[in-house]
Amino acid sequence: MQPLQTIALISVHSDPANETGRQNIYVRQVGEALSRMGWQVDMFTRKTEINQEEIVQHNPLCRTIRLTAGAKQFIRQEKLIGCLPQFLQQLLKFQAENNLQYRLIHTNYWLSAWVGMELKKIQSLKHIHTYHSLGAVKYIGEQQLDNLAKSRLEIEKTCLETADLNIATCPQQRDYLRDLVSDRGNIEIIPGGTDIDLFGSISQIKARQKLEIEPDQFNILYVGGFDRDRGVETLVKAISKPQLHSKANIRLTLINDSCKINIIEQKRIEKLVWDAGLDNITTFVSRFSRSQLAVYHAAADVCVVPSHYNPSGMVAMDAMASGTPVIASNLGGLKYVIEDQKNGLLFPSQNSFLLARAIFHLLTKPQLRLRMSVMARERVFELFTWDGVAQQLNEIYLEQIGRQNLELLDKSLSYSIQAIKA
């Protein structure tokens, strides 16, 4: 297969070659799906360990390229912003050494947006950006913003107004961009996806046998970070309520999927579980592969996503692809992915009472869980596969490159006319 063209996906702080982290997975899965369609995909990130490979070849048309920008170690965002100029220079150096010219770049998250905007100033290319999360939402209600927050807001606003196309992962994120960031700029909605070959590849019976979960236990699963906006506290409070706490057959599995585990947050949630008297029914998981994650999803009776802000809904997609009903906060990508009462249940974010009632509802109605399981898989297969996401991006990429061809043609004609007049 002849590659359509070589394109660059830029993800400064999230490494597509890693198996954990929502943005890592998004960029990797998008890159591989695009390569299956014939694109040559270079995915740029930064090196975080001295002994890391500089290039990871995922398949003949898709690779991760790790650039040196700052120390070869994990660097927090407040420090990482200072490494962006070096990242840009290293990317340009890689292009020069390998005789590469990208007609289109697709940046991810605000740090990468800065790199994309600077690259566009010096090269003829199309710039597409996916936000993943928004500073404008994160900082709502804060009276005093530090310099990092101000920089992020300015970069997100400039990117929205100057990129050739901005991608929101759900309608609510598009509305946030318009209401909180700028009324200028082009926006398209393209959701995230899930790996339907991985999630759903093992039955619940076999998964529970692997994890030694008894058939009569009602297994509640949480997958996500342990920082406060993920809503783990709401889930713990819900399960500690009498209508659920009194049930002897409940089991809680808390999976921390952060790339870099925050020990303080981990200890905080562990103490919360202990204080609620749930330590004897709770299992903590923090080191796992993607294949192991698929087993945990399949072994669950319900997956709870109690986020305060969630623009992607990707955890819900993984669960739904596994045939596991989801109970989630009624916001963002979650209410875009889940059809309430059909393939899952939605509840008001941070409302532990209504979350407890939703869990109890599914606990006592196995036939409803079975029906939701079937409908959840159907919805994912219809709307949220990575190949489907890549197909939408493919159409956008081709349209943008076509526009670039016209722009180059217009410039060429303009120069020719000027030469004739001269």
When pLDDT is averaged across residues 27-54 and rounded to a whole number, the result is: 96
Q: What is the Cα–Cα distance from 27 to 17, expressed in whole angstroms?
A: 9
pLDDT in tens, 208-267: 999 999 989 999 999 999 988 999 999 999 999 988 877 669 999 999 988 777 788 899
62-67 and 55-59 strand pairing? antiparallel
Pick the CATH number of 204-383 from 3.40.50.2000, 3.40.50.150, 3.40.120.10, 3.40.50.300: 3.40.50.2000
Residue identified by tokens 């889940």 is 338
Residue identified by tokens 């070096």 is 86
Give the pLDDT band (50/70/90) at residue 171: very high
pLDDT of residue 413: 42
pLDDT of residue 407: 60
Dihedral pair phi/psi, residue 84, rounded to 5°:
-65, -40
Pick the CATH number of 6-193+385-415 from 3.40.50.2000, 1.10.3720.10, 3.40.50.620, 3.40.50.720: 3.40.50.2000
- In order, the DSSP letters of 240-292 are TSHHHHT-TTEEEEEEE--SS--HHHHHHHHHHHHHTT-TTTEEEE----HHH
pLDDT of residue 417: 46
Closest to 254 in 3D by CA, of 296, 303, 221, 293: 221
Region class of 44: left (phi > 0), else alpha (psi between -120 and 50), else beta: beta
Three-class DSSP category at 27: helix
pLDDT of residue 200: 95
pLDDT of residue 92: 98
Q: How far is CA 222 from CA 197, 318, 324, in A?
A: 21, 12, 12
Residue 416 has pLDDT above 50, yes or no: no
Contact between 139 and 145 under an 8 Å Cβ cutoff? The reply is yes
Residue 393 has pLDDT above 70, yes or no: yes
pLDDT in tens, 72-119: 988 887 789 999 999 999 999 999 999 999 999 999 999 999 999 999
Give the pLDDT band (50/70/90) at residue 20: confident
When pLDDT is averaged across residues 135-164 and rounded to a whole number, the result is: 94
Distance of CA 177 to the CA centre of its chain: 17
Q: What is the Cα–Cα distance from 290 to 296, expressed in whole angstroms?
A: 10
Give the pLDDT band (50/70/90) at residue 400: very high
Higher pLDDT, 50 or 404: 50
Task: Report the DSSP beta bridge partners of residue 255.
Answer: 223, 285
pLDDT of residue 2: 58
Task: Report the DSSP beta bridge partners of residue 385.
Answer: 194
Tokens at 341, concatenated: 């009462």
When pLDDT is averaged across residues 359-387 and rounded to a whole number, the result is: 96
Domains 6-193+385-415 and 204-383 share a fold: yes
Q: What is the Cα–Cα distance from 253 to 284, expressed in whole angstroms?
A: 6
pLDDT of residue 409: 44
pLDDT in tens, 189-205: 999 999 999 999 999 99
pLDDT of residue 7: 96
Distance of CA 373 to the CA centre of its chain: 23
Q: What is the Cα–Cα distance from 245 to 229, expressed in whole angstroms?
A: 24
Q: What is the Cα–Cα distance from 310 to 22, expressed in whole angstroms?
A: 11
- Domain ranges for the chain: 6-193+385-415, 204-383
Residue 135 has pLDDT above 80, yes or no: yes
Task: Report the DSSP beta bridge partners of residue 366.
Answer: none
Q: What is the Cα–Cα distance from 305 to 285, expressed in whole angstroms?
A: 16
Average pLDDT, the chain: 92
Closest to 12 in 3D by CA, of 43, 37, 42, 39: 43
Q: What is the dihedral of CA 272, 223, 392, 119, to 10 degrees?
A: 60
Per cent of the chain over pLDDT 90 is 82
